């Protein structure tokens, strides 16, 4: 990538990272058999990639839909959500992109400029920093399977976006997005006292694990993992129902 980095280049760098992260997460959380993954390398790091064509296409299409919203500068967070067989959210792998620059559509192909505190020009997207920090983040995600409490068999996953403030939900046909469950929704309401944010009771989880913050020039985002209350309720029910003889 040349020094002439555009907003679209930033988004492409992030969505590439997001794609690798999704494959890593579904491997670590045993969403599909380990035998359905192959070894690959990205960011000079060994990663796993699912090799089933339908899984790969679904992930590619989902990330493309995320990219459309990112180019609107309307996204606060992207989430990879793990559900149990009853479609209850157990874990959310969060990618906070609220610090991405806001760039009008007409300027998204225009090279960005960035200066330091002395007013000197610096790289908008330093590739060495990007690779190093993405490698560090991938290392943390790759080890999450041993650090998190296990999830039950038969889990599924999806991709969700949390929009900024009063941003209208995406519309169109065919529709790439459907509303999240009420417990995973954030609502903004306005009254005489101003703006208020109502959070669904599943947002935030009951346990949060920090993964890493990435800051490579203008590409800045944070990654963390939320474990929901349903996951701990299932563990409690399972332990209470265990026959100890």
Beta carbons of 69 and 75 less than 8 angstroms apart: yes
Please report whether residue 178 resides in a domain.
yes
Average pLDDT (104-117) is 92
Q: Please, which residues bridge with residue 79 across strands?
A: 94, 160
Average pLDDT (174-184) is 55
Average pLDDT (194-210) is 64
pTM (predicted TM-score): 0.83
Q: Which of 10, 11, 22 is nearest to 223 (CA)?
A: 22
Please report whether residue 160 resides in a domain.
yes
Positive or negative, the Cα torsion across 191, 166, 156, 91? Answer: negative
Question: Is residue 196 over pLDDT 50?
Answer: no
pLDDT the model gives residue 107: 96
Q: How many angstroms separate the CA atoms of 129 and 127, rounded?
A: 5
Average pLDDT (182-190) is 52
Beta carbons of 216 and 133 less than 8 angstroms apart: yes
Q: Which whole-number Å values give the CA distances from 223 to 124, 174, 191, 232, in the listed order?
A: 21, 30, 33, 22
Tokens of 217: 């020039």
Percent of the chain with pLDDT over 70: 78
Range with top average pLDDT, 2-11, 57-66, 143-152, 177-186: 57-66
Domains: count for the chain? 1
For 162, list phi and psi in degrees, rounded to 5: -105, 125
Question: Is residue 112 over pLDDT 80?
Answer: yes
118 versus 102: the higher-pLDDT residue is 102
Local confidence band at 217 (pLDDT 50, 70, 90 cut-offs): very high
Please report whether residue 217 resides in a domain.
yes
CATH of the domain at 112: 3.30.900.10
Please report whether residue 90 resides in a domain.
yes
Please report whether residue 245 resides in a domain.
no
Domain of residue 130 covers: 7-240
pLDDT the model gives residue 174: 52
Which residues, 6+ apart, have CB-to-CB distance to 143 below 8 Å?
28
Which residues, 6+ apart, have CB-to-CB distance to 29 below 8 Å?
82, 91, 144, 145, 148, 151, 155, 157
Please report whether residue 190 resides in a domain.
yes
Please report whether residue 58 resides in a domain.
yes
Please report whether residue 75 resides in a domain.
yes
45-50/37-42 β-pairing: antiparallel
């Amino acid at each position: 990538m040349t020094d002439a980095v555009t907003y679209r280049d930033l988004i492409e760098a992030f969505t590439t990272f997001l794609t690798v992260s999704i494959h890593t997460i579904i491997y670590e959380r045993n969403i599909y058999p380990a035998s359905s993954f192959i070894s690959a390398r990205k960011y000079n790091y060994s990663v796993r990639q699912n090799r089933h064509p339908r899984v790969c296409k679904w992930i590619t299409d989902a990330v493309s839909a995320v990219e459309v919203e990112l180019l609107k500068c309307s996204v606060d967070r992207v989430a990879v959500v793990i559900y149990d067989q009853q479609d209850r959210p157990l874990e959310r792998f969060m990618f906070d992109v609220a610090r991405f620059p806001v760039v009008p559509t007409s300027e998204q192909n225009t090279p960005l400029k960035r200066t330091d505190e002395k007013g000197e020009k610096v790289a908008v997207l330093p590739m060495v920093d990007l690779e190093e920090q993405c490698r560090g983040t991938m290392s943390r995600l790759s080890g999450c399977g041993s650090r998190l409490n296990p999830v039950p068999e038969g889990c599924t996953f999806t991709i969700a976006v949390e929009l900024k403030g009063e941003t209208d939900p995406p519309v169109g046909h065919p529709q790439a997005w459907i509303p999240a469950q009420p417990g995973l929704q954030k609502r903004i309401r306005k009254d005489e006292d101003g703006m208020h944010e109502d959070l669904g009771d599943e947002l935030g989880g009951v346990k949060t694990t920090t993964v890493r913050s990435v800051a490579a020039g203008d590409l800045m985002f944070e990654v963390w993992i939320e474990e929901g209350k349903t996951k701990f309720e299932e563990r409690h029910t399972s332990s209470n129902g265990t026959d100890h003889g």
